[in-house]
Amino acid sequence: MTDWGRVEADLGTHITQRKRIAGGDINEAWLLDLSDGRRVFLKTHAKGPDGMFPAEKAGLIWLDQAQAIRTPKVLSVWNGEGGHGGYLCLSFVEGGRRGFDFDEVLGQQLAALHRSAPAQFGLATNNFIGRLDQDNTEDTDWARFYWERRIWPQVRLAHQTGRVERGFVEAFDALQKVLSERIGPKEPPARLHGDLWAGNYMSDRDGRPVLIDPAVYGGHREVDLAMMRLFGGFSETVFQSYHEAFPLSPGWELRVPLYQLYPVLVHVNLFGGSYGNQAKALLRQIL
């Protein structure tokens, strides 16, 4: 149950109208009209992971620090207590038609975001990928980070929850042994969105790109690009524009399955079904 009085107190004004809108698998979402003339977007949940909204707030601010691509402005956040669910209040981004150069600009702005390098792989705080915990313990070694903080935790969780059999887990032993060879040339950490599928970007009313719902950390930039190719929704113009602004290291095509493996394992743990077979297929390509 949302504490609407607290929302009003945080925003320093009254809510004159609230409208339910689509909010995804975890959250409820509201469009609020305020007495001071503003329109804001509110995400709420009653049973979401503890700390999810503060983590999303931190992620949006972290992306915005790069000054590379637009994100919603964080107005208020509350983690919830005493029977009241938490909420995250953001500036409302009015959607619009994509500009004629939208895809080109998106590629350029993603390149600029990735060039804004954090000091290490990971992040100072942990966060979430969907409703799953995402361990961001910082590391200077990308191969070690990708195995210990991304691949192995998802494989272990899938086995513990009965999503996969023991043979699935054992198949990943071979990946651990060759990961440092498959990981690609060394690069500095990139500022990643972390969950960049077609549902997590949009066009504002001026036709410019906006990123939403991040799962941020410092990582290899090919992670974002591989996920963009995983479920579709991005034109080749986006990738071409990115490559012109920030060329990828040779052999990037061969590493796409490696960097698609993490989000597919996340989907194994969130949804089960055929994603286990998809993870096995990716593993065969990598090895």
Domain boundaries, the chain: 4-91, 102-286
* Whole-angstrom distance, CA of residue 271 vs CA of residue 287: 25
* Whole-angstrom distance, CA of residue 67 vs CA of residue 30: 27
pLDDT of 171 above 60: yes
pTM score: 0.94
**What's the Cα-to-Cα distance from 179 to each of 3, 70, 142, 146, 256, rounded to whole Å?**
48, 34, 10, 9, 14
Of 24, 133, 19, 30, residue with least CA distance to 76 = 30
**Of the listed 33, 135, 173, 195, which one is catalytic?**
195
So what's the pLDDT on residue 3?
84
Q: What is the band of 131 on the pLDDT scale with cuts at 50, 70, 90?
A: very high
Q: What is the band of 82 on the pLDDT scale with cuts at 50, 70, 90?
A: low
So what's the pLDDT on residue 137?
98
230-273 pLDDT, tens digit per residue, is 999 999 999 999 999 999 999 999 999 999 999 999 999 999 98
Given a contact cutoff of 8 angstroms between Cβ atoms, the answer to whether 163 and 276 are in contact is: yes
Mean pLDDT, the chain, as a whole number? 94
Q: What is 102-286's CATH number?
A: 3.90.1200.10
15-42 pLDDT, tens digit per residue, is 999 999 876 667 889 999 999 999 999 9
pLDDT of 79 above 80: yes
Of 158, 167, 174, 229, residue with least CA distance to 198 = 229
Section 125-133 average pLDDT: 96
So what's the pLDDT on residue 213?
96
Q: Is 269 left (phi over 0), alpha (psi -120 to 50) or beta?
A: alpha
Q: What percent of the chain has pLDDT over 70?
A: 97
pLDDT of 218 above 60: yes
So what's the pLDDT on residue 271?
94
* Whole-angstrom distance, CA of residue 243 vs CA of residue 59: 25
The 10 Å Cβ neighbour count of residue 10 is: 15
List residues bridging with 18 in a β-sheet.
32
So what's the pLDDT on residue 146?
98
Section 97-114 average pLDDT: 97
Residue 195 bears catalytic tag: yes
Section 218-235 average pLDDT: 97
List residues bridging with 72 in a β-sheet.
none
Mapping DSSP onto H, E and C, the string for the chain reads: CCCHHHHHHHHCCCEEEEEEECCCCCCEEEEEEECCCCEEEEEEECCCCCCHHHHHHHHHHHHHCCCCCECCCEEEEECCECCECEEEEEECCCECCCCCCHHHHHHHHHHHHHHCCCCCEECCCCEEECCEEECCCCECCHHHHHHHHHHHHHHHHHHHCCCCCHHHHHHHHHHHHHHHHHCCCCCCCEEECCCCCHHHEEEECCCCEEECCCCCEEECCHHHHHHHHHCCCCCHHHHHHHHHHCCCCCCHHHHHHHHHHHHHHHHHHHHCCCHHHHHHHHHHHHC
So what's the pLDDT on residue 7?
92
pLDDT of 148 above 60: yes
pLDDT of 185 above 80: yes
Q: Does domain 4-91 have CATH number 3.30.200.20?
A: yes
